[in-house]
Structure 1
Amino acid sequence: MALTWLAVASLLTVPASAESASSRAGLAATAARLDALHRRVSGNRAERRASELLSYHQIEGGVAACMRAAGKTYRVAPFVSRYDLFTDADLGYGTGSGSVFDSITGRGRSVILNELAGARFARAGLLTWWDSLPAADVPAHNRCTARFQHRTYPDYEPPAGVNRFSGFADLFAPVVRDPAVIAALRPYRGCMKQRYGYDVDERTDFLFRPRISYRDAPLDGRPPTAAWTRGVREVRAAFAADVDCRLPAYRIAMRLLAPRLGPWERWHREELDSIHRAWRQRVIQARDLPQPVGATVHIGR
């Protein structure tokens, strides 16, 4: 009995700072594990770039061959990777789903990187590439792109199974329905309004409201425009406010999620391994492809 009371007393006298540090470490570990799981399903940087390159050769090469067979001239588009400025850290679970599990460290970086990618596409002429087709060639071009569902090469198809697992619906569902998480999210709208002046009807609409444009992005060594600087500041402020007001619910949700990750991964191991092998096979295939003219393509391991 004395030993039991001593054990309880020792727990009660743990410094609050130490307990807080331990809690933060646990949340960070769970977030890192979720990020790794997301990359395993949705692809890391090297795997996504490999997919872009494979798609480029398949679609642009296929359309060019089809147009030649139709007796038409076709100017092959240049290769530009969306992921040039991304790192693997930017391709974790992130902030794209507007869920309670959204990253608390991303702070809108993916939004900014996507606009920079749009600026690179625009600079290469990809956003208006097909506008330059002669009117007489448009029907033939439409027939040639139909075999690819009129997709462009950045819009590559992920491996089978990715779309099924990328949302982690069955993993997240019990957590987001937990009464403690629901209660912790209830003050969110009031917090956003009272602390930061934001009227938020729906989180995803709020977070991804247009605040910056690729048209203002600083490329080719140019200094950022006033509009870009202002927009980046607004993006970061919006995401920082979201983190502050969502943090109580995030902490609860991640603690509830932590013990579920291992069993979920074991339950779906066969499917997850199949997806991972498909991504890695794309990296292997891409290494043997010729580099597009005028493009620098680095396919990692």
Structure 2
Amino acid sequence: MTTSRKYWVVSPNVDNKNRTVSEWIQASVRWQAAFMGWHPDDQDHKLGPKFAHEIRPGDLILIARRYRKEPQIVGFGIVVEEFKTHLRGFEPPQSFGSLRQLDPFVPMSHPPKHPPFINDALNHTASLRQLHPENNHVHKELCDWMERKLAISNAAAPKEYLQEITSRVQLRSLPNDAQLEYQVRTLRSVKQAIKKEADLVIRYRQWLERQDRELQIFKSDGIQCDSYEQTRKNLIEAKCSAKREYIRMAVGQLLDYAFQAKHDLGNCHKAILLPEKPDAAILEWLKSLEISAIWEENSVFLDNLDGQFT
């Protein structure tokens, strides 16, 4: 690593209230930004001025914290501008002091199994902390890893393969063309729905690949689910619209897939992948069925299960 940039860890717990952490995490991913609760001129809380003035464009910020003795990571990226106190169109969950926008930004909703040193580097609870790769080998490994991740293109296509889990259930890599199953009334509508869903799944797959995660196709006894993430046991059905009639169809499909796969895969997390966030009433209904929602918002993916799917 040959760079003069500084490396920082910023907590996603912006206002020191755990009940709003999930909202701040979504804000960081949606707006590609790190947030600080203390104000830039707050002399009683030095972290506010430090976040606003000592962090410089070109520095790297990791949004993460230690929570219940485990690392919680949101993502990391390069600071691109001086600090801001607001963003056009952004409605914060609570009041805050300032923010730093990050570009490029790599979302990472769960700490990866590798590298293991990320657990050691996050062994703290401060809202803001500087990493010192120049004299700490754990910090250096973490900083080198983040630099590599930022440099890797997320557009590389995955290797094609077929993996047999049991004699009945198979997982294989996702297609790059429009081969996702959907049924509507007319041939033209079928083609349009297939194309929209396929494109949505491909963008979602690329989003996960940036986090070293992999989607596959789930098949069992002649039925096929759009996506399955084996490491997290996420079973996902894509739909081209967030309207209730599309979601009702996805619910039936997911319940059927989960039932068919239970013997071989165990209990799976179930979610519907959508091009936009569904209405609150639909989210409440899905929650009662233990089904989550994943939606795309300005080229980022969010979910309502604390990052389980994103």
TM-score scaled by length of structure 2: 0.23
Which has a greater percent of strand? 2
Larger Rg, first or second structure (1 or 2): 1
The structure with higher relative contact order (CA 8 Å, sep 6+) is 1
Which has a greater percent of helix? 1
